[in-house]
Amino acid sequence: MTGSGNHGTLSQLPVRSVSRPHWFGETDNPSENPRSYAAIHFHEDSLSDTKWDPDFALNIPDDWASGVYAAELVAGNEIDHLPFAVLTPRGTTTANVAFLLSTFTFLAYGNELRDVKGLNNIYDSYVVGSGVPFASLLQPLANFRPCKGILVNTNGEAFSQHLNADLFLLRWSAEKSIEVDVLSDHDLHREGAELLE
């Protein structure tokens, strides 16, 4: 909404609050002088939402322990794993230790060092050279997978640094019989201190 009756819908997270000809450097805060930051930049390689329809849904059984799981997808010779976290039922706990998955970090570094147009992370640049300020869960995150990524372990297996670091720690906890309740940054942001209680 523009305030003058001209309404529109923006797609694929164009960069808003960009300085325009009325900007003279007097402030770097768009809320202090909105007229100075009234431009929008659209980028050909900005992809925030693929708008794909779901192919399947999974109802998590009540008896599944809190942890990180993955749906295995198979198409011919190709295999992929889509990770997801299972939390304890709301308002309950099963362990003395809470493990916070760093899902905001996963998102910030999503598609790190991928040279695929549109699969950006917040440390990339658009093809025009300006920085990418957004990350989105609604685009493919090619390296947010077990057994995928730009790094290779001593066995020659690929892995992504952030998710796999958390998986290594969860595996170590299981081997040491340390029970944990898995939480995520997204859940903590949504539920706040109530989740920690």
Note the pLDDT tens digit of each residue in 144-190.
777 776 677 788 877 777 888 888 899 999 999 999 999 999 999 99
| 165, 170, 171, 175 alpha-carbon torsion, rounded to 10° | 140
Residue listed under structure tokens 């760093």? 102
For 77, the token pair is 């010779």
Contacts of 124 (CB under 8 A, 6+ apart): 111, 131, 132
Q: Which ranges constitute the DSSP H helices of the chain?
A: 103-108, 161-175, 185-191, 193-196
Q: What is the model's pLDDT at position 137?
A: 84
Predicted local confidence at residue 2, as pLDDT: 57
| Residue-range domain boundaries for the chain | 1-42, 67-196
The b/e string for 110-140 (b: 16+ C-beta within 10 A; e otherwise) is: bbbebeeebbbbeebebeeeeebeebbeebe
pTM of the model: 0.77
